[in-house]
A and B are shown apart, each in its own frame.
Chain A
Amino acid sequence: MRERKKSSAVEVSSVKKKKEKKTKDNNEPREQKEKEESQSIMKQQKNTTSRSKKEKQRKATEDYQSLRESELSGDEVHGTDHDVDNADDHHEEDQTDGSEGHRGVEESDSSEDEVAPRNTIGDVPLEWYKDEKHIGYDISGKKITKKERQDKLASFLANVDDSKSWRKIYDEYNDEEVELTKEEIRLVQRLLKGKAPHTDFDQYADYVDWFKYDDALHPLSNAPEPKRRFIPSKWESKKVVQYVRAIRKGLIKFDEPKEEEPKFYLLWGDDSSAAEKANHLAYIPAPKPKLPGHEESYNPSLEYIPTQEELNSYQLMYEEDRPKFIPRRFTSLRSVPAYENAVKDSFERCMDLYLCPRVRKKRVNIDPETLKPKLPSRKDLKPYPVACYLEYKGHKGAVVSISTEASGQWFASGSTDGTVRIWEVESGRCLRVLEIGEAIQYVAWNPLPELPVLAVSAGQDVLILNTGLGNEEEQRRVKDLLHVETPTAPDVLDLGLVEDHLLKNLLLALMFTLDGVFGRMASQGRLPLHVFHPTRSIFFVSTKKNIRVYDLLKQRLIKKLETGLKEVSSIAIHPAGDNLIVGSREGKLCWFDMDLSSKPYRVLKCHPKDITNVAFHRSYPLFASCSDDCTAYVFHGMVYSDLNQNPLIVPLEILRGHTSSNGRGVMDCKFHPRQPWLFTAGADSVIRLYCH
């Protein structure tokens, strides 16, 4: 009932409908009452008069009919005189309460809806009857005529006069005006406020626990607790053991903790690795443009602005080295001009897109510095000749050849002016001038210190000269040696007449050339270059392009070294004897390691012009080459006694100072036998000594 009231509280019209429904429901007991009434009358009639059943029934229906009619008329009355009706209702309610209990409570509310539904049009829109004179049909099928409609003005006037007009509602469905009672208005107001419709209903009444036993000593069930509640479950322990075994065997696998994705990533990091990870065939990551810096600002601070000198220096740079962007200052963003290269840039971009290769090119990015061989620092390779402190001047022509004495106190030089000069190394004093008369080709000091003699080749002759050095005893021996039966000139002698044993060592190389062994090459008009092995009886002779190695004892060719040069100009052998350097006319220097192969171990392309001579130092790991470009190069050439280690060659120094004369530069270079010093003989008739 409560619910019903709530639902009926939505709006007035629905309340009205509910009333009608309730009246429908209430019809039944009313009919029962009537039946009872009619039955009691019938009893009376049974008792008093005997009438036919049919008659009775007819009468009953008549009664009913009349009753209904009276009720209908009463309903009309009800509309006007509601309060009375309501009081009656309550009264009736009280009556039924005792007999029917709850049902009576529910139906007590519907007392007002005694009016039966007069209209039976059903659930059709009332508009359909708009143009009709009637509105629907009543239960007996008669048309229910519409009430005469008051015109608006009259009704308005009536409303104005009537103080209750605000409570009146027109019921379209039944075509009547309903006036709500004060009680109903209050109810509606309460509902609108969200309160319970009845004033006496307490929304927040105390809860009454119907099932509470105040004196309950025992629980609902009085059975004792079973034993199984107190002992551990066997089944559970079995299951646990089963699980433990399964876990141990690895049958049950737990979810591995998820690897957490790194929350952060390098915003400015290199994307290249990510691109590789993606491994898409077509994915070529766009190169990241350089982020703009302060200098790109329209108003950069002063240190970014290039000075005029810097701007001028930019002009001197190559186009590609020039900075692309030159920072400028503007007082405001408004004054920044349009980008002048916009068209050009977009054109270039288009060209890039058009010409861009659609394949990824594997370009090897190698720092050229790393390709350089790892060479030790020059500082660690000291001493080596660096600077020229002494010059030996005196020759009138190009100095062709120099040779040092074994101790390094003296050296001799031969020149194209036909003189051989003997110099003191230390002071630069020319000790002796020996006039030969012909242009000197080669001078060689006797390596034996006790015989200070000099071999000189000039023109067609080889001359042995007495240097005049040494003490008297040595001088006597030299004179004895050089004494010939028919001296052509004092201290000078022709080679063919020499019979002495001592001289044989000295002259062996020369004799070989004359012996006809290499006569073939000599006949070609070229003097073959040759060098002796320092310790073994091996002899190196150069042809134009190759070096032949002969064994002197077995008298046969051992090896042929292929230089790959156009024309060999000079050879020198390392004092240990296993390495050979060869200079060429094209400026290349070849280092041969005899143990390695017959091909050069290293080819150094250093001189732009002919190499005129190459030389090894006797004790220091140095070698040098001199060239017609007026320079001499000094190299570090370390030969290790360990056979597994290849020789270490490091270029050390370029020695300059000579001037060119007739297209010739430095004609000869020789190392000082004991100091890391280099003598260079120049075509400018000067001999220089480069010291460390």
Chain B
Amino acid sequence: MDMNIETPEDQNEENSRRVQVRFKTKLKPPQKVPSNSIAIPSNLTRFGLSSVVNNLLQAVNPEWKSEPFDFLINGELVRMSLEQFLLAKGISAEKVLEIEYIKAVAPQKEEEPSLHDDWVSAVDGSNPGVWKAGGVCTHILEGHCGAVSSVNIIKSDGLKYVTVATASKDQTLRLWKFDAEELVNHPKKIRSFKILRGHKASVHSIAAETSGNMVCSGSWDCTISLWRTNDSDAAGNQVSIKKRKGNNQVEEPQLEGEAISTLVGHTQCVSSVVWPQQETIYSASWDHSVRTWDVEMGKDLSDIFCGKALNCIDIGGEGSALIAAGGSDPILRIWDPRKPGTSAPVFQFSSHNSWISACKWHNKSWFHLISASYDGKVMLWDLRTAWPLSVIDSHKDKVLCADWWRGDSVISGGVDSKLCVSSGVSIQ
């Protein structure tokens, strides 16, 4: 086994120093290497380290199929040669270096993009049931007369029926309900069961409460409105109207809802809202601010000003408290609101070339998030390194939306009318 390791590095063995390392991992036994320390050349990069680990694993288990690993030293991912990394971080190479390895996070497989008729402006992958494998279109939600700007799947009690809320440029929000398990051969057209009116300008963003009873929406009229999603019986004041009687014989009653409350404070278009906890709503706006709202009080608790118009916001990361936001510049910023004086971002990722249109945290991992940009790229980030883990470059034009799907895939939609799915992202 040792022979195997050394063969590729025999040539440059003379002119490189060796470092004593010990590999450790939190992975399960088949991926665990013996914990004795070995000496490896210090000019190895991530790829070299990965092949070392794979060789070690093969020595233990001959049937082991090599797979890429990523390596952490002192909680930071190694993105250069080991020597450079140690020099840059000022870590002594005298002691036995503890290197933790994790599975490399990168999409393994690019699935066939599903083509749409028009731009894909919003995706939500929070419910694994909506999308069939392979991205086959199952349902068409019909009814908006303006572009749909945002979509959110509201968790419903039963698995069978899925409720979806959409926000549209026609100044309305609509709620849809359909049977996810119903097998259909051709896409089924569904009409919304509830229309929420009240915004005076196009609605830009929608977010559902964790319980699914309420949704909030951010709009171009600078307000955030809260709506109730419950069935008509609970509210009781819905007016059933018949729409376009002539066109449709079989007409389901469409309910109309009104905003329970409106959060006023932003001075420009509210471009993105998230509702991660029962009591707080986070919103990003073109007035360059990120605001935290108390739902009960209807007041904003704190503002973060970043100087750029913001397009997207998401809450996640460590303790589900970090705010990631991107906007009218190529920098993805991450704030920690728990820190006092939070105006300065904790992390800034600037590998994109254009506006950032979407950013989403992975819902399990504290470190991983994706960002989509108008330069046509979706990037996968790890907080432990300043470089993107991987760049998904499947779109030809602007990427308008991106989300995680089923925990191991990235879906993204863009101006090229494609919905791309990159699967096999293994985040443990």
Contact = CB atoms under 8 A, between A and B. Distances in A.
Interface string B368-412: 000000100000000000000000000000101000000000000
Contacts of A408: 268-269, 286
Interface string B190-216: 000000000011100000000000000
B171 A389 contact: no
B220 A407 contact: yes
B400 A427 contact: yes
- Best-buried of A382, A387, A471 by chain B (most CB within 10 Å): A471
B119 to A, nearest CB: 7
A383 B307 contact: yes
B51 interface: no
Nearest to A450: B200
Contact of A674 (B286, B330, B354): B286
A427 B400 CA distance: 8
Interface in B252-273: 268-269, 271
Contacts of B202: 409
B311 interface: yes
B206 to A, nearest CB: 16
A675 B328 contact: yes
A470 B311 CA distance: 22
Interface string A649-691: 0000000000000000000000000110100000000000001
Interface string B119-159: 10100000000000000000000000001000000000000
Contacts of A383: 307
B328 A407 contact: no
Interface string B294-320: 000000000000011101000000000
A692 interface: yes
A389 B311 contact: no
Interface string B329-342: 11000000000000
A426 interface: yes
Contact of B269 (A382, A407, A427, A429): A407
A122 B389 CA distance: 140
- Best-buried of A409, A426, A471, A692 by chain B (most CB within 10 Å): A426
A334 B409 CA distance: 82
B201 A407 contact: yes
A428 interface: yes
Interface string B89-120: 00000000000000000000000000000010
A541 interface: no
A551 to B, nearest CB: 35
A383 B147 CA distance: 31
A389 B374 contact: yes
A503 interface: no
A409 B400 contact: no
- Best-buried of B202, B287, B398 by chain A (most CB within 10 Å): B202
B220 A675 contact: no
A474 B102 CA distance: 57
B119 A429 contact: yes
B398 A427 contact: yes
Contacts of A390: 354-355, 374
Contacts of A674: 268, 286-287
A691 B398 contact: no
B170 interface: yes
A409 B398 contact: no
Contacts of A409: 201-202, 220, 269
**Helix, strand, loop or mixed for chain A's interface?**
loop
- Best-buried of B170, B328, B400 by chain A (most CB within 10 Å): B328
Contacts of B328: 389, 675, 677, 691-692
A619 B329 CA distance: 21
A660 to B, nearest CB: 25
- Best-buried of B271, B309, B329, B354 by chain A (most CB within 10 Å): B309
Contact of B147 (A429, A471, A691): A429
Nearest to A387: B329
A389 B269 contact: no
B354 A389 contact: yes
Contacts of B170: 471
A428 B414 CA distance: 12
Given A407-B201, A426-B311, A692-B328, A471 B269 contact: no
A411 to B, nearest CB: 14
Contacts of B354: 389-390
Contacts of A429: 119, 147, 415
Interface in B269-302: 269, 271, 286-287
Contact of A427 (B121, B200, B286, B307): B121
Contacts of B329: 387, 389, 691-692
B148 to A, nearest CB: 12
A19 B221 CA distance: 152
Interface string A156-196: 00000000000000000000000000000000000000000
A691 B311 CA distance: 14
A328 B309 CA distance: 61
A489 to B, nearest CB: 22
Interface in A278-300: none
Contacts of B415: 427-429
A163 B147 CA distance: 162
A190 to B, nearest CB: 104
A675 B286 contact: yes
B99 to A, nearest CB: 40
Contacts of A677: 328
Contacts of B330: 389
A407 B286 CA distance: 11
Interface string A424-446: 00111100000000000000000
Contacts of B286: 408, 674-675
A468 to B, nearest CB: 10
A675 B309 contact: yes
A676 to B, nearest CB: 9
A386 to B, nearest CB: 9
A675 to B, nearest CB: 6
Contacts of B309: 675, 691
Contacts of A675: 268, 286, 309, 328
A691 B201 CA distance: 23
A692 B268 contact: no
Interface in A369-408: 382-383, 387, 389-390, 407-408
Nearest to B307: A383
Contacts of B287: 674
Nearest to B222: A407
Interface in A601-620: none
Contacts of A426: 271, 311
A496 B248 CA distance: 42
B354 to A, nearest CB: 5
Interface string A189-207: 0000000000000000000
Given A389-B329, A389-B374, A390-B374, 14 more contacts: A390-B354, A390-B355, A407-B269, A408-B268, A408-B269, A408-B286, A426-B311, A427-B119, A428-B415, A429-B119, A429-B147, A429-B415, A675-B268, A691-B355
9 contacts: A389-B354, A389-B355, A408-B268, A409-B201, A428-B374, A429-B119, A429-B147, A675-B268, A675-B286
- Which 9 A-B residue pairings sit nearest by Cβ, starting from the closest? A389-B354, A471-B171, A691-B328, A389-B355, A409-B220, A674-B268, A675-B309, A407-B220, A427-B400
Interface of A: 382-383, 387, 389-390, 407-409, 426-429, 470-471, 674-675, 677, 691-692
